[in-house]
Amino acid sequence: MRLLSTSCGRDRGEIRARSHMSGVMHFLFLLAAVLSCHGCPDKCLCFSQTVKCQNQDLDAIPHSLPANTKFLFVTGNNISHISVDSFPTHLQMLTDLYLSGNEIESVDAMVFDNLPNLVRLDLSNNNIQTFSGRAFPLDNKVQLLNLSRSFHSHSFMDVVLSVLQSGNLLKLTVLDLSNNDLVILPDNIFASLSSLVDLSLQNSAIISIQNGTLRAPPLLDLDLRYNSLRDLPATALEEFRLKPALRIQLAGNPWRCDCFIDNMLLWLKNSTQVIDVQNQTCAEPEALRRQPLLQVEQSQLKCSGDMDGVLETSYVFLGLVLALIGVIFLLVLYLNRKGIKRWMYNIRDACRDHMEGYHYRYEINSDPRLANLSINSDV
């Protein structure tokens, strides 16, 4: 193969050196060489319908590719932009295009217009910052799109959106968005991917699955491993239930095993959808760390930070105690009603005696005849 592919340009001598071969072999060799390396670009290897231009420090996709190219690998080079000029000739047979590891920053409009039968496109391991919504022709046949490790940060989320929401990836069945810093998925991100069955969101720092995000595509395989999910909300579980054939991978998420996860736990224990159900472990709280989720009992799921609830119960308790004290007080009063009555009478009598004493003294004081007597009696 190597002989064929390099024989077009500089290395013709190699073929001549093999003239000791039989004439027929020689002829066949030349024929094959002429056919297969018809237009094979510099720094590329061409064999059968495959062209490989790998790790050559190319700064653009080589032009004059063989017209019958089906599989094109231009990986590990240094191509920062791809645009309508990248594929100036019509490549009717090209189905697989691998552009991984090129530091690609921009994917411009109409770049794939000359590749009408493109089915698999690998743009992984690049640094995409702009991606035209019109990069793919309207009637494209793209079924697999690999955008693994293609966007270096969350700030390019709108770029991802513009690609996926362009509305013309209608045949897309496999989408690899793994190893991107996605964090939060806008709820309409997959809404127009009406054929998508295989979605990888592995290792993408995703913190939650919002209502509606996964509703539209007819998913069969969903990889959510190694994200930052602490639980799955009821709406996500409902969306999973509506897709009975869906298979989900969830290992490597830091599940928080508190009272909010009980819905998910019920679902995990009863569902057959999670392939790696045995591999789910709690990350929090400390007491349950590394414990398999399947072995956690409902009664172990506590809400430690739930201070409001604690306060509420203590207020109710205080109220009950006060009411009880009140009731006891009234009861004591009731039981002692006779004694209290007697005590009141005693007080009343005592008061009356006292007042009568005053009254008597007043009368004595006001009687001048008894004045001396009263003064003596006071002493």
Contact residue for ligand NAG among 5, 6, 86, 124 (CB under 6 A):
124
Q: Residues 6 or more apart from 16 whose CB is under 8 A from it?
A: none
Residue with Cβ nearer ligand NAG (117 or 279): 279
Contact residue for ligand NAG among 146, 173, 213, 273 (CB under 6 A):
146
Residue whose C-alpha is closest to residue 7's, from 76, 49, 17: 17
Q: Interface with ligand NAG by CB under 6 A: which range of 270-278, 311-319, 325-333, 345-353?
A: 270-278
Q: Interface with ligand NAG by CB under 6 A: which range of 85-93, 189-197, 269-277, 297-305?
A: 269-277
Is 75 a binding residue for ligand NAG by CB under 6 A? The answer is no
Residue with Cβ nearer ligand NAG (103 or 306): 103
CA–CA gap between residue 162 and residue 159 (Å, rounded)? 5
Integer Rg of the chain from CA = 44
Q: Which residue has the tokens 């909300």?
A: 233
Contact track, ligand NAG, 22-51, x by CB under 6 A: ------------------------------
Is 291 a binding residue for ligand NAG by CB under 6 A? The answer is no
Contact residue for ligand NAG among 22, 57, 286, 334 (CB under 6 A):
57
Residue with Cβ nearer ligand NAG (8 or 265): 265
Is 279 a binding residue for ligand NAG by CB under 6 A? The answer is yes
Contact residue for ligand NAG among 64, 211, 314, 377 (CB under 6 A):
211
Is 244 a binding residue for ligand NAG by CB under 6 A? The answer is no
Q: Interface with ligand NAG by CB under 6 A: which range of 4-12, 25-33, 120-128, 305-313?
A: 120-128
Is 133 a binding residue for ligand NAG by CB under 6 A? The answer is no
Contact residue for ligand NAG among 3, 15, 60, 174 (CB under 6 A):
174
Binding site for ligand NAG (CB under 6 A): 57, 59, 78, 80, 100, 122, 124-125, 146, 148, 174, 176, 211-212, 235, 251, 270, 275-276, 279
